[in-house]
Structure 1
């Protein structure tokens, strides 16, 4: 290999079409023939690319991450999967105290990956400024700092993926709020917590697995879901700190997040 790929300033990946690369017969090495000097690369790690015919590989992408370079293969395959039939329907209310609460009364704990790693990340960040600009020590410290954040990102993604997959396997219909997450993070007091919860990533995985498993994913307007009574529909105004939903019209009492999840589910039928 002549040298590492050189990406543009705000780009960390480059994509190649079929005529710009050649896969070794053993599929353990790949050679790039675009005359940019990348040459032959050895494929490491756990992968199952050897199980697919070469003609099904339509694109190859080199991606730069904080912990190294990765080769991604875009393969043309049938992505559908046979799943068991179910008629279960569920409403979910995402939050900060719990990752989500559902209409069955279950709460999924919020892992708070960034909060747990924040002390270690800040310690590593201080090491960056202890070294002079342009020095190898500063470059190494920045690499360690970037890998800490990359680990948190991957933890969030795997957590959201696992929960979304389980929800789509167990339910024929999943109903959630159509939240404007980019608008919510404007609140600087909650921005870090909202980002750490990774609601948008969770919804993306829900829609992905919903299409893969043939499930229905419905996003309903979020207005007044936390104020509306799931039993009678009356609006019961309460603050975020209120721990019990108590309706003055019908006397219904319930945990606020579970009540909101039931309201969200009911809106799918309106």
Structure 2
């Protein structure tokens, strides 16, 4: 079973630290990671905005960072002691990609991370960074296998928003009119016709919901593709 973790610096429903301060990051990281030292069971996953490129040469468009080399070595040592590995870098050892753009400094940097303990790296299926579509930070996504997660049975529920769509109401009305016109005969009991119409109505709503979902996904994909293209063009101008 695959599970996906997504970290976004400006997400409102994340379950880990939002963002580190703009200075003295090593002190804050030391304090935060010390609270994780007691985690001796299960799989430890840490995500957050460190506000620092761990390898400035390739994690910053300028090739350097305002963080001192001593502070960087201290952060890297703390991560190493907990056997925490940068998942995206593990999957993209030589690539250059960024998650944040500073308009003030006109600089790109990769400062958003998801870390996984080294012994669990084999479970990673995919690690990606996304486009900054509604924030100055882009999301980081990790997909991995989990033997403890089991898929649950899917159940369909009516989306109330469908009933507010005039085109949906028109289609449902036409389908029901056609159904009763074809099936209201003396050969079929009224109770059977009435019970069967529920399945017809459900099938119609499921089809319409799937259609609207495909249209919405296509619209979203087109927008993200456009954003990604413009973002890549802007990033290349800073390389």
TM-score, normalised by the number of residues in structure 1: 0.25
Relative to its length, the structure with more strand (as a share) is 1
- Flag the structure with more relative contact order, 1 or 2, with Cα contacts below 8 A and sequence separation at least 6: 2
TM-score, normalised by the number of residues in structure 2: 0.28
